[in-house]
A and B are shown apart, each in its own frame.
Chain A
Amino acid sequence: QKEVEQNSGPLSVPEGAIASLNCTYSDRGSQSFFWYRQYSGKSPELIMSIYSNGDKEDGRFTAQLNKASQYVSLLIRDSQPSDSATYLCAVMASSASKIIFGSGTRLSIRP
């Protein structure tokens, strides 16, 4: 079992709709969770971090965390073509020394 799992996609969403990206993790002791966006040929950039159960909103982005289910999600409201990218879920190991990444979900927003 991979430590951080994501559906590789591609996930195709119409412009203006809500895109929902999901991630599960195996280390129950994990405390810090992140979503990164990566455009083709570029380095990953941080979108959201979340540390407590529940929702955290930042503009059009909402991160959701459920530690009991070991599940993290990212919602993107009013999806724009510029949101087309690969989204990486990342989890800090319970040892707090390293961050483990999922393989990413490719999101495509169609006009």
Chain B
Amino acid sequence: DAGITQSPRHKVTETGTPVTLRCHQTENHRYMYWYRQDPGHGLRLIHYSYGVKDTDKGEVSDGYSVSRSKTEDFLLTLESATSSQTSVYFCAIRSGRDTDTQYFGPGTRLTVL
């Protein structure tokens, strides 16, 4: 357990509404990541952060934005949710104790109707 929590754990929303997912860590890790996981696609990187206010895009960033105003929190926002964003979202941190190793949060299951 790398001290990672995600909220909410489950959410159902309607197309066109904004949605924010939160990732919280307690161990002061520098790197944080947001992935989505869909059948047949494995884990795909959405955005990542390498420090407070320092973020970069991953391979599937369209339709998503992120913010990191504090080391412990990394927020993922869907400005206007679409049905194609129905997925399971995982947050991860990169541990400095174990070289380059990522540890994952419990995930958020998002359904966009």
Closest to B50 in A: A97
- Of the four ranges (under 10, 10 to 19, 20 to 34, 35 or more), the interface on chain B belongs to 20 to 34
- Given A43-B90, A97-B50, A98-B48, verify A103-B40 contact (CB < 8 Å): yes
Interface size for A (C-beta < 8 A) is 23
Residue in B closest to A89 when the chains form the complex, CB atoms: B42
- Which stretch in A44-52, A57-65, A67-75 binds the other chain? A44-52
A97, B59: Cα distance in complex, Å: 13
Which residues of chain B from 37 to 53 have a CB within 8 Å of any chain A CB?
40-45, 48, 50
Docked pose: A6 CA to B40 CA in angstroms: 11
CB distance from A106 to the nearest CB of B (A): 11
Assess the A51–B99 pair: CB atoms within 8 A. yes
The answer to whether B48 touches A43, judged by C-beta atoms less than 8 angstroms apart, is no
Chain B residues proximal to chain A, CB less than 8 Å:
31, 33, 35, 40-45, 48, 50, 56, 58-59, 90, 94, 98-107
User: Can you add 11 more A-B contacts, CB < 8 Å, to A32-B100, A46-B102?
Assistant: A8-B40, A46-B103, A49-B100, A51-B99, A98-B45, A99-B94, A100-B59, A101-B43, A101-B44, A103-B40, A103-B41
